[in-house]
Amino acid sequence: MSAMVRTFDQDERTVWVMPRDERMMTWFQIVRIANVQSVRWVLGALNRRPTPVSVRRAQAWCARMEAAGLVERAQLGGAGGSLVWATYAGTGMGKPNLYRQTTRHEVAVSAASARYAAAGYAWQRDEKPTLVGGHQADGIALAPQWVELIEVELTGKRMPRYASIFAAYRRRLDYGDGNVITYLCNAESARTVREALLTLPAGRDIAPRIQVHEVYDRAGLWAGGTLPDWLQPAADRARF
């Protein structure tokens, strides 16, 4: 197995950066920022396990990558452990703004990505729409012959906005852009999404192709050490 070596003379240590670490950097290029819980899940996925590694192992990985200058961490006091992001040396991308209003949402998206990775899916960012009336999903989970559009919904929207989003998704489904749309919510936002699907004509049109799951708490944390029953392993998708 090939490896890249970084040597730090100031503390006379050599940090080995292995292919698995480089794959973690690739993941951080996509999600930008995550908490330690999500790092646990992705490290487990890279071990081909559907479970997270221990907190100790995740923290040890973060410390090693921090010593190599590839990640940084910050403890802001929230649930899920420290926030972790890759440095410019690790991904070629600048430091995210930790205090931006959308940071909580980005961390929640990375939690979704991590669980799907543990289930064997690839994950990518959705492209920005090029047409008026389009809508960009929060992520795309990929398996053989399977494209799942993911919406992370921590705060419910107004009904006119849902009407526009559902219409955009209807067009994408008609074009063969995806197999299913999955809304990952907390209890309150799940109620709002389900109400929109029931009451809006655009929602009723695509309701059979939309899944709504309650996975986050009110703070946006996806807790638990096992994958949910509804998250079918990616390997099983190829059988149908």
Provide the pLDDT for residue 76: 82
Provide the pLDDT for residue 99: 87
- For the chain, residues with pLDDT lower than 50 are 1-2, 7-10
Provide the pLDDT for residue 227: 97
**Residue ranges per domain, the chain?**
1-100, 119-240
Give the residue from 121, 119, 126, 129 showing the smallest Cα distance to 140: 126
Provide the pLDDT for residue 112: 98
Supply the angle between the helices 36-46 and 55-67 in degrees, to the nearest 10. Answer: 90
pTM of the model: 0.92
Which helix (H) or strand (E) covers residue 213, if one does?
strand 210-214
Provide the pLDDT for residue 81: 80
- The architecture of the domain spanning 1-100 is Orthogonal Bundle (1.10)
Quick check: 192 and 159 in contact, CB under 8 A?
no
Q: What is the CA radius of gyration of the chain?
A: 19
Provide the pLDDT for residue 130: 85
- What percent of the chain is predicted at pLDDT more than 70? 93
